[in-house]
Copies of this chain bind each other. A is one copy, B any other.
């Protein structure tokens, strides 16, 4: 059977996963990329190198963050969180965001890890999405 997850179940899945599918609007059309992320109960944090994803969220900050746990074709849970994406710019907020991400993903990507370790290099970009609404579905 297919049904709705409760808000508690939806937030639990969002809190307990590590890979999300970030949905953005790029040039008016949809664009989806997997991101490693951390959810602290209020914000979804992710990092990125400059590129299409970063240009898209700057131009159209409304995004969605989709997370699923697929056990099989007829056994899965999926949540979608909606919110506004913003770059994390302040020093202490950036340290908080990157600290959370590094605690789960100690290498980030090789390039970004290298940059984070070298204060003279350009810093990796950190983003956060304040989660305004979550919906969840399941089958099984």
A contact set with B: CB distance below 8 Å: 1-2, 18-19, 21, 23-25, 28-34, 36, 60, 62-64, 66, 68, 70, 73-74, 76, 78, 80, 82, 105, 107, 109-111, 139
Closest to A84 in B: B29
* Bound form: Cα–Cα A24–B2 in Å: 22
Select the residue from A32, A36, A74 with max chain B CB neighbours within 10 A.
A32
**Do B21 and A32 have beta carbons less than 8 Å apart?**
yes
The majority secondary structure among interface residues of chain A is strand
Task: State the Cβ distance, A114 to closest chain B Cβ, in Å.
Answer: 12
Partner of A34, one of B28, B30, B60, B70: B70
Task: Give the contacting residue for A21; candidates B18, B66, B110, B111; CB below 8 A.
Answer: B66
Whether B19 contacts A23 by the Cβ 8 Å rule is no
Q: Report the Cα distance A82→B110, complex, angstroms.
A: 29
The verdict on A76 contacting B25 (CB below 8 Å), with A2-B109, A19-B70, A70-B19 known, is: no
A-B pairs with lowest CB-CB distance, top 5: A23-B30, A23-B32, A32-B66, A29-B62, A21-B21
Identify A64's interface contact among B31, B70, B78, B107, CB under 8 A: B31
